[in-house]
Amino acid sequence: MSEVVPASGTVHWIGAGLSTGSGLAVLCEAAERVRLWHRTEERAAEALAGLGLASRAEPRAYTPDALAADLAPGDVVVSMLPAPEHAALLALCVSERAHFACSSYVSDAVLEQVPAAARAGVVVLTEAGLDPGIDHLFAHSLVARAREAVGDGTPASYSLTSYCGGVPAVPNDFRYRFSWAPAGVLNALRSPARYLEDGAETTADRPWEATRRHVVDGETFEVYPNRDSLPFVEQYGLPTAWKPRTFVRGTLRLDGWLRAWDGVFAELRTGDDARIAALAQELAATYPTTDADRDRVVLAVSLDVHGGAGGDWSGGYLLDLVGDERESAMARCVSRPLALGVRHILDGSLPPGLCRAAETGARSQEWLAELAREGVHFTLRVDQ
């Protein structure tokens, strides 16, 4: 591994979609210069004006060639583009010895480039948004607290659940508000989910069919598993002496969502790719997101340990934020932790190669303290 390339002080923020919020303003304070790249320079300028940053960042029209011509060693590229486009951006960063950051899960195409990035002294920061991101911070912190409280060398059993969702602040008939592209929402529902339940590996080919009630702080929601939860048992550092009863990472929706989406599920069961793409466009037109809407983000992560040397232990984090006229809750919760990670690239505290928002319990608690100071509020509950 090479030494990390010193940060130049320039940040290139690529894309100004629904998740671009006050994190960009944070970087305008931390970086020497910030450039916002969007479809056209005019669209970029409009986005900056909407965020109150018209005089603090430079608008640019994005094309890969234009970015390549403007990129210098030590610059930081922040990708807010769809996940399939990250790999190409990372390849450009490695070739130009620029650092890379995004809020998405690590894809195979990104992972393949990590060795070359490490050799080039390039930081590859991933999973540094809300989900993934803050959910990892919560989980690592809880595991570290539980290990300290009950000990990790004696047999115990545990249940860990992590549910996150963006929902309308004022419930509507559809029981949902699109905070990302409808096509992405539908295709996520078409992907099988793998998790642990009653100590056994379980797969839900249609994740919504595994929906159940889940009470958070006295309020009833509906939750279902998504993606593959199993790799996170190791990633979260759970002791091998502890045996999982339940381990599931999933999505949270308002109570009544399953019933309200019955017609959508019927289409998902029978529709081909073309029909699902058309359905996504229909839903976007029927349920548009307007400036008057207020969204709500709820993230609840809980860990319960039974039978350890120190006795039973239970803890949980809850983040419950509502958007305002300045930015959506989703934009705040995605862009703020991402900006925090970029600041750590700028100050040289992240090593070259792959980094996630959370790697250890100690680091997670440091990041959570920083986020709390900067307006991402949450609560911690511990029972022993």
Alpha-carbon gap, residue 370 to 364, rounded angstroms: 10
HSE at residue 72, side-chain half, CA atoms within 13 A, is 8
Alpha-carbon gap, residue 299 to 334, rounded angstroms: 12
Sign of CA dihedral 227, 231, 310, 319: negative
Alpha-carbon gap, residue 136 to 338, rounded angstroms: 13
Residue at 37: amino acid letter: W
Q: What are the CA-CA distances from residue 14 to residues 34, 44, 67 (Å)?
A: 11, 10, 9
Alpha-carbon gap, residue 337 to 343, rounded angstroms: 10
Q: Which of 283, 300, 215 is nearest to 249 (CA)?
A: 300
Alpha-carbon gap, residue 31 to 155, rounded angstroms: 48
- For 185, counting Cβ atoms within 10 Å of its Cβ (0-12 exposed, 13-18 middle, 19+ buried), the class is middle
Q: Residue 287 carries which DSSP code?
A: S
Mapping DSSP to helix (H, G, I), strand (E, B) and coil, where does residue 190 land?
Answer: coil
Helix (H) or strand (E) holding 129: none
Q: What phi-psi label fits residue 353: left (phi over 0), alpha (psi between -120 and 50 degrees) or beta?
A: left
Q: What are the CA-CA distances from residue 325 to residues 22, 111, 204, 338 (Å)?
A: 12, 38, 38, 21
Alpha-carbon gap, residue 44 to 38, rounded angstroms: 5
Instruction: List, run by run, the mean pLDDT of 10-residue segments along the chain (384 residues).
Output: 92 89 93 96 94 93 96 97 94 98 95 97 97 97 94 91 96 90 91 96 97 97 97 94 96 98 96 95 90 92 89 95 92 95 96 92 93 92 89
For residue 275, the model assigns a pLDDT of 96
Q: Exactly one of 70, 108, 131, 291 is catalytic; name it.
A: 131
The pTM assigned to this predicted structure is 0.95
HSE at residue 205, side-chain half, CA atoms within 13 A, is 2
Q: Which of 347, 351, 370, 369 is nearest to 359 (CA)?
A: 351
Q: Residue 144 carries which DSSP code?
A: H
Tokens encoding 359: 């790697």
Is 347 an annotated catalytic residue? no
For residue 1, the model assigns a pLDDT of 63
Alpha-carbon gap, residue 157 to 313, rounded angstroms: 11
User: DSSP of 79-124, one letter per residue?
Assistant: E-S-GGGHHHHHHHHHHHT-EEEESSPPPHHHHTTHHHHHHHT-EE
Q: What is the CA radius of gyration of the chain?
A: 21
User: DSSP of 197-240, one letter per residue?
Assistant: ETTEEEEESSGGGG-EEEEETTEEEEEEE-SB-THHHHHTT--T
The answer to whether the beta carbons of residues 322 and 298 sit under 8 Å apart is no
